[in-house]
Amino acid sequence: MDTAGRAREILVRLRTVFPDPRPALAFASAYELLVATVLAAQCTDARVNKVTPEFFRRWPDPAALSRATAAAVEEVIHSTGFFRQKAKNLVAAAKLLVERHDGAVPASMEALTALPGVARKTANIVLSNALGVNEGIAVDTHVRRLSFRLGLTASDVPTVIERDLMPLFPRQAWGEINHLLVMHGRETCPARKPRCERCVLGDICPKLGV
């Protein structure tokens, strides 16, 4: 089976296992998902979901956050790690959203990645899940690991992995494949001791690095 055929089969099989893929982060708007995704860097989604209710109670939109002090934000997000840099970036990003985009989250990769603390992964997550725009494939630690193990890329560089993955999956599935690989990575193919004996992809997986 060639790489393209394997990718098609991976999508079909993982859709069967995970029929309703969606972000683990709780959000009700593009702004909320942007904040949650920034906070999720080097932090679990579960921890972020414990922090964001109070965050959004205090700062329900970019305008409110743009007026916040970094110290106040640090206090609320302290448990997510790297809280000083995250607070600084979030407040600065909110100010730019107000100044450049009338307080709305822009629906373009270029505009999103111009915000402090927002790289392609975060932008892809916000675009595909909150704004219905598929500009690329978000490559996090799970997607990075599984893409290599499944033989979909030979690289460990996120930008290269994304470039390798995009032609293998339909554009409308770019957001979905991120969720499917993340969920499969968490449940069956973790970094240590992958459960190959129970894997739905076991017969087509080259098991690179395993």
Give domain limits for the chain. Answer: 3-21+137-198, 30-104
Q: For 158-205, how does the pLDDT look when each residue is reduced to its tens digit (9 = 90+)?
A: 999 999 999 999 999 999 999 999 999 999 999 999 999 999 999 999
Does the pLDDT value for residue 75 go beyond 90?
yes
Q: For 33-70, how does the pLDDT look when each residue is reduced to its tens digit (9 = 90+)?
A: 999 999 999 999 999 999 999 999 999 999 999 999 99
Q: For 87-106, how does the pLDDT look when each residue is reduced to its tens digit (9 = 90+)?
A: 999 999 999 999 999 999 99
- Point out the catalytic residue in the list 86, 95, 140, 164: 140
30-104 is a CATH 1.10.340.30 domain: yes
Active-site residue, 121 included: yes
Task: Provide the pLDDT for residue 65.
Answer: 98
Report pTM.
Answer: 0.94
Q: For 118-133, how does the pLDDT look when each residue is reduced to its tens digit (9 = 90+)?
A: 999 999 999 999 999 9
- Point out the catalytic residue in the list 20, 121, 156, 164: 121
Question: What amino acid occupies position 64?
Answer: A
Active-site residue, 2 included: no
Residue with tokens 């450049």: 100
Q: What is the mean pLDDT of residues 17-42?
A: 96
Which fold is adopted by the domain 3-21+137-198?
Endonuclease Iii, domain 2 (1.10.1670)
Task: Provide the pLDDT for residue 1.
Answer: 86
